[in-house]
Amino acid sequence: MDYEPPFLETYKALVQNHVDDSKNDSSLVERCELPVIDLGKFNYERDECEKEIAEAANKWGFFQVVNHGISQELLKSLEFEQKKLFYQPFVNKSAKFNFSSLSAKTYRWGNPFATNLRQLSWSEAFHFYLSDISWMDQHHSMRSSLEAFASRVFSLAKSLAEILAFNLNTKSNYFRENCLPKSSYIRLNRYPPCPISSKVHGLLPHSDTSFLTIVHQDQVGGLQLMKDGKWVGVKPNPQALVVNIGDFFQAFSNGVYKSIKHRVVASEKVERFSVAFFYCPSEEAVIESHIKPATYRKFTSREYRQQTEKDVKQTGDKVGLSRFLL
């Protein structure tokens, strides 16, 4: 189909040079039920709700929220618009045909730095900073859905971050001052059917460069996270959003909250869609733990991203927080 990225053609050399015929372990993992937190309880069981959020951030690094304030109608509308966007001809997507006012990095697919198949992500994505959405003049319905989602999910992320900061006895105004819409972004993801699904990932194992990530996934499944040294699959919940702790919150909390490695598996026969929101600080923001002794040296968001980009170009993978250990 003309909307599919040319994975096999572009990465032909990697496919031909791949000699390991062993299957990966992605289809053998057990499925788990992430902690589910009902935010509807917040008004009348606030202490209990805050405790549940903090415990999940500490023990799992992942949790789900229901009664989160983002309607199913809005999520379905966004998914509909997302599919329209991905089903454009590939030549239009890759040439920025409809996003001439946005960055050349708005549309992404595969992994240009991959040196073997295990470093290849069989997925494509549109990456929008919240401040860029208003420039999408050619896509009125997509812009409308994205703006409505961005407003609600940004407010949700800020509330969750302030709850987690309060549990650390840290001033919550840090997030109001440093995590603004212009530094946070939305990523629309599509994972196409993959004929070599046993050889590649849908999305490489990684931890997130964010404070919090909030994901709406379809019911196909495929998200897996590392728990107690082994991969476990996340069972989709149609009423829930998935929240995970990012690297910045692990450093900010001095390791109290865990930024957990996760991945998306490739599927041979079905496609998968998801929307991810990344709650991030400005480039000048300093990430520093006020819990002593500190595990990580203080650093800026810009410094962390520059180090990550350098590592990915040199090794094909992100090194992450271990670069900033004291």
Query: Pick the residue with more confidence: 99 or 236?
Result: 236
Q: Which H helix or E strand runs over 274?
A: strand 272-279
Q: Which residues contact 227 (CB under 8 A, 6 or more apart)?
A: 32, 60, 260
Give the pLDDT band (50/70/90) at residue 27: low
Q: Is the pLDDT of residue 25 over 80?
A: no
Q: Is the pLDDT of residue 36 over 70?
A: yes
Give the C-alpha distances (Å, rounded to integers) separating 211 from 105, 111, 228: 22, 24, 22
Query: Pick the residue with more confidence: 312 or 96?
Result: 312
SS3 assignment, position 21 = coil
Asked if 291 and 260 touch (Cβ cutoff 8 Å), the reply is no
- Return the ∠ at Cα 297 (arms to 61 and 250), rounded to 5°: 5
pLDDT at position 53, please?
97
Q: Is the pLDDT of residue 317 over 80?
A: no
Q: Is the pLDDT of residue 63 over 70?
A: yes
pLDDT at position 221, please?
87
**Closest to 294 in 3D by CA, of 261, 258, 319, 324:** 324
Q: Is the pLDDT of residue 227 over 70?
A: yes
Q: Tokens representing 269?
A: 């026969």
- pTM assigned to the model: 0.94
Residues 27-294: name the CATH superfamily: B-lactam Antibiotic, Isopenicillin N Synthase; Chain (2.60.120.330)
**Closest to 224 in 3D by CA, of 236, 214, 212, 213:** 236
| Neighbour count for residue 147 (Cβ, 10 Å) | 14
Domain range summary for the chain, segments of one domain joined by +: 27-294
Give the C-alpha distances (Å, rounded to integers) separating 302 from 16, 183, 276, 285, 310: 38, 11, 21, 8, 12
> String of b and e for 76-94 (b: at least 16 CB within 10 Å)?
ebbbebbeebbeeebeebe
Residues belonging to the active site: 272
